[in-house]
Amino acid sequence: MLDREALVKEFVFKAIRSSGSGGQHVNKVATKIEISFSLLESSVLNEVQKARIQNKLSNRLTKENVIQLQCGESRSQLKNKNTAIDRLINILETALKVQKQRKPTKIPRAVIKKRLKNKRLRSERKGHRKKPDLD
């Protein structure tokens, strides 16, 4: 659907120091990856795709229409980079999917008859519980 290699070329990567466990190693090495993708400057996506992504991912976009993502799960910078790329491409592909139009189904005639029959039987059963009218 999307040209993965062309999209990756448009991503901007930034390595930052990761927080969390790791001891002294964490303070020396920048393993956390911050990935950003400018939606408006993209040449891979056409205007319709950009509008759809902008609409669906409005809560994830910055004011400049940039999607930012961070990954610091692994202690390896390369693993974090690959994970971030996969996540961002997955987010973009999900936003571009067009959902099928729902067709409301008609209630079958047999189901309507069954419901009315049960309703009538329940009414009769409750009616038999009343005291007889002796007028």
CB of 123 closer than 8 Å to CB of 130:
no
β-partners of residue 14 are 34
Model confidence at 41, pLDDT cuts 50, 70, 90, reads confident
Residue 132 falls within a domain, yes or no?
no
CB of 12 closer than 8 Å to CB of 36:
yes
Q: At residue 24, does pLDDT exceed 90? A: no
Domain that holds residue 18: 4-96
User: How many domains does the chain contain in total?
Assistant: 1
CB of 44 closer than 8 Å to CB of 7:
yes
Q: Which of 15-19, 40-44, 66-70, 72-76 is most confident?
A: 66-70
Query: Number of helices (H) and strands (E), helices first, in the chain?
Result: 5, 3
The pLDDT tens digits of the residues spanning 59-69 come to 988 898 899 99
Residue 107 falls within a domain, yes or no?
no
Residue 35 falls within a domain, yes or no?
yes
Residue 71 falls within a domain, yes or no?
yes
pLDDT (average), residues 10-35: 80
Integer Cα distance of 37 and 45 in angstroms = 12
Residue 25 falls within a domain, yes or no?
yes
Q: At residue 122, does pLDDT exceed 90? A: yes
Q: At residue 98, does pLDDT exceed 80? A: yes
Alpha helices in the chain (DSSP H): 4-10, 24-28, 47-56, 77-96, 109-128
Which token pair is 47?
């205007």
Residue 80 falls within a domain, yes or no?
yes
10 or 114, which is more confident?
114
CATH code of the domain in which 41 resides: 3.30.160.20
CA 56, 9, 87, 71 dihedral sign is negative
pLDDT of residue 77: 86
Integer Cα distance of 45 and 89 in angstroms = 12
Backbone angles phi, psi at 75, to 5 degrees: -90, 0
Of all residues in the chain, the percent with pLDDT exceeding 70 is 93
Model confidence at 42, pLDDT cuts 50, 70, 90, reads confident
The pLDDT tens digits of the residues spanning 68-84 come to 998 888 888 899 999 99
